[in-house]
């Protein structure tokens, strides 16, 4: 099974354009959760930019990009969708769709030129939009008394822990997302905060985006 820790996702969707030999290549990229969303995104680009000569596409979905597809949309076979898909794969991107719309400028690029142009259009767009690592986090439920809840929550936030929710009932339940390799360290910190009175309850795993401390792709 592919390692989810090896996946990357786009930081955001967007558009980037290049011009090669008077042909305009408009790369539109988006994050998508499933094939239906990818298909809808492609259809939307086609409707909005109906004057383009071609709308070539590539997408990768699921852990490790297990599901993928590409299309040349009238360009010579293998010169557009395949190099686009190869860029997404080399960057480790998943849950991502790319549409490169081309307006023909009158100069034929040849097979090699098309491969380079479509690949570059997607690569430049990925560079402009940025990526993040997708890593598995343990979902831990922390139950504390009302009298201690504010202090514990403040300490967790100050330590940079990802608090998903805080629910007030008979006790206060704080749900925290912790990187899987750090669960033992988190448990030790929590024990120190509560004098050993609280042990986190694991309730699942979630995949989350991770960037470095500067906010640039991790």
**130-171 residue pLDDT tens:** 999 988 999 999 999 999 899 999 999 999 999 999 999 899
What 3-state class would DSSP assign to 155? helix
Give the pLDDT score at 218: 35
> What mean pLDDT comes out for the span 207-212?
80
Cα Rg of the chain, angstroms: 23
Is the pLDDT reported for residue 217 higher than 70?
no
- Under the banding of pLDDT at 50, 70 and 90, the label for residue 188 is very high
Does this chain's domain 4-129 share its CATH topology with 133-210? no
CA distance 210 to 158: 18
Helix (H) or strand (E) holding 44: helix 35-48
Give the pLDDT score at 97: 98
Minimum mean pLDDT among 55-59, 72-76, 117-121, 209-213: which range? 209-213
> Hey, what CATH class is 4-129 in?
alpha beta
Is the pLDDT reported for residue 49 higher than 90?
yes
Give the pLDDT score at 211: 79
Give the pLDDT score at 93: 96
pLDDT digits (tens, 9 = 90+) for 84-129: 999 999 999 999 999 999 999 999 999 999 999 999 999 999 999 9
DSSP label at residue 200: P
Q: Which of 25-29, 152-156, 195-199 has the highest mean pLDDT?
A: 25-29
Give domain limits for the chain.
Answer: 4-129, 133-210
What 3-state class would DSSP assign to 51? coil
The CA-atom distances, in angstroms, between 57 and each of 42, 97, 159, 160 are: 7, 7, 43, 39
What 3-state class would DSSP assign to 194? coil
> What mean pLDDT comes out for the span 69-77?
96
Contact 99, 57 (CB under 8 A): yes
What's the topology of domain 133-210? Alpha-Beta Plaits (3.30.70)
The CA-atom distances, in angstroms, between 172 and each of 51, 54, 126, 180 are: 57, 56, 42, 23
Is the pLDDT reported for residue 215 higher than 50?
no
Helix (H) or strand (E) holding 124: helix 110-129
* Greater pLDDT, 195 or 119: 119
Residue 86 in tokens: 């190869």
- Cα 60 versus chain centre, distance: 11
The structure tokens 């090669």 sit at 20
Is the pLDDT reported for residue 216 higher than 60?
no
First to last CA, the chain: 23
- Under the banding of pLDDT at 50, 70 and 90, the label for residue 3 is very low
CA distance 122 to 113: 14
Is the pLDDT reported for residue 193 higher than 50?
yes
């Amino acid at each position: 099974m592919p390692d989810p820790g090896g996946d990357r996702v786009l930081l955001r969707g967007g558009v980037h354009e290049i011009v090669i030999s008077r042909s305009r290549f408009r790369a539109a990229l988006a994050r998508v959760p499933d094939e239906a969303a990818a298909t809808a995104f492609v259809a939307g680009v086609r409707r909005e930019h109906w004057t383009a000569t071609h709308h070539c596409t590539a997408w990768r979905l699921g852990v490790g990009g297990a599901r993928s597809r590409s299309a040349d949309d009238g360009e010579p076979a293998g010169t557009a969708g395949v190099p686009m898909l190869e860029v997404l794969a080399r960057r480790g991107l998943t849950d991502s769709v790319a549409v490169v719309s081309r307006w023909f400028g009158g100069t034929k690029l040849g097979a090699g030129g098309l491969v380079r142009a479509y690949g570059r259009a997607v690569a430049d767009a990925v560079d402009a939009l940025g990526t993040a690592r997708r890593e598995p986090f343990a979902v831990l439920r922390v139950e504390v008394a009302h009298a201690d809840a504010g202090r514990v929550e403040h300490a967790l936030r100050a330590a940079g822990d990802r608090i998903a929710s805080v629910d007030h009932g008979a006790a206060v339940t704080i749900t925290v997302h912790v990187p899987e390799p750090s669960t033992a360290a988190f448990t030790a910190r929590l024990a120190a905060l509560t004098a050993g009175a609280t042990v986190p309850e694991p309730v699942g795993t979630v995949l989350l985006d991770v960037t470095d401390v500067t906010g640039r792709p991790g």
